[in-house]
Amino acid sequence: MSKLVSRLKFVKIKDVLAVIPFVFAVLPAIILRIVRQNIWLICEEENEARDNGYWFYKYVRENYPRIDAVYAINKKSPDYQKVLGLGKVIQYGSFLHWVYYLTASKNISSQKGGKPNAALCYFLEICGIIKNTRVFLQHGIILNSPKFLHYEVTKFALFVCGAKPEYEYVSKNFHYPEGIVKLLGLCRFDNLYISNSYKQNQILIMPTWRGWIARETGLLNKSGKNISFQETEYFTAWNGLLQNNDFLTLLEKYDLYAKFYPHRNMQKYIHEFNSINNRIIIADWQQYDVQELLKESAFLITDYSSISFDFAYMKKPLLYYQFDQQEFREKQYEEGYFSYENNGFGEVALTALDLVEKLSEYAQSGFSSKDVYLKRIEDFYTFNDNNNCERNFRAILDL
């Protein structure tokens, strides 16, 4: 409870005002549950239908249409049309969302915060005021030990894992009662499994987010002085790579093209990045789908992103560019069971020069995967098929 109180400082006015639609939604929810006793409410981030939630919803609607499944999304989202023709769709965060949230027998999301109001719902759930069956489909393979996903602050009824080492780590360290954490595979992997075609000259550059930068609470230099986003090491390194002469020369030499797609939480800064070469595209999340980028690319450059696990699932080569290892570990995630050097699916580069040299080696080989990393991929994944959605469906059905 003390941890809960400490988080109250992050509560916003909109979170307090959310009490009003919650109160008014209680009675309609009671009535709706009499008529529809087994609603499955599914969602992701407010503006997205491209992660495990979407692929699960699509699978259920196409294979088990008798399941009363509803999808919540912002109707202004570029992904809205993707779910509109599949079944019942409601406005994310609306009064109707509250009604369905209180009615649903299963609340299913790829995000911990997939609710009409994350702060209020979190408070009501952890305090035991609302007792519902919540399923965490996962957003990506967990590498570290984020405390916001521990049982005492989630109370999930089902926690899905995508790989055996992850499953063992979460089961041992996240304090969930036996049987809640299950190794089922991520739903979005089904769409990756059926992909065999890609552009042999396309590189995808996809760095993960930096919490202290995204929240703008840590824009300080080593002396404690306030700095702009353009002065952060994150921007300097990634924008520097996009304008690195050796990197651009490599693209020209091997007739390669690159797409730079920062993490969704960093996309608000995308206009700050500059490409001085028409072989590099700065990819806006509203115009590019992550899965399609992964499927069509021959090679991936990332840093600490779990998106590397999606790429590895397709057994394609990658590199990790980790110029800020110490700061990332101190400010974002401590290292968990996964070591990039010992368990990763590609080499680790600490400088742009090192990155370009390693990338050149892969380009010379036509981006062929190295045996050592293929063996690591084989050992990491229990499943390498297109039955992930079905396993998730059966597990949820059994709740």
Q: Could you give the CA distance from residue 229 to residue 220 in angstroms, rounded to a whole number?
A: 10
Q: What CA–CA distances, in Å, run from 279 to 157, 169, 242, 276?
A: 47, 41, 10, 9
Assess whether the region 2-185+386-397 and the region 194-380 belong to the same CATH fold.
yes
Q: For tokens 């089902």, name the residue.
A: 158
CATH code of the domain occupying 194-380: 3.40.50.12580
Query: What phi and psi values does residue 192 have, to the nearest 5 degrees?
Result: -75, -35
pLDDT in tens, the chain (399 residues): 555 555 555 678 888 888 999 999 999 999 999 999 999 999 999 999 999 999 999 999 999 999 999 999 999 999 999 999 999 999 999 999 999 999 999 999 999 888 999 889 988 888 888 888 999 999 999 988 788 899 998 999 999 999 999 999 999 999 999 999 999 999 999 998 765 667 889 999 999 999 889 886 556 655 566 788 999 999 999 999 999 999 999 999 999 999 999 999 999 999 999 988 999 999 999 899 999 999 999 999 999 999 999 999 999 999 999 999 999 998 888 888 999 999 999 999 999 999 999 999 999 999 999 999 999 999 999 998 899 999 999 999 999
Q: Could you give the CA distance from residue 137 to residue 287 in angstroms, rounded to a whole number?
A: 25
Which residues, at least 6 apart from 64, have a Cβ–Cβ distance to it below 8 Å?
393
Adjacency order of strands within the sheet including 68-73:
88-91, 68-73, 39-43, 106-109, 134-136, 158-161, 181-183
Q: Could you give the CA distance from residue 141 to residue 305 in angstroms, rounded to a whole number?
A: 9
Q: What residue ranges do the domains of the chain occupy?
A: 2-185+386-397, 194-380
In the CATH hierarchy, which top-level class contains the domain 2-185+386-397? alpha beta
Angle, CA 329 vertex, CA 328 and CA 334 arms, to 5°: 140
Q: Could you give the CA distance from residue 321 to residue 205 in angstroms, rounded to a whole number?
A: 10
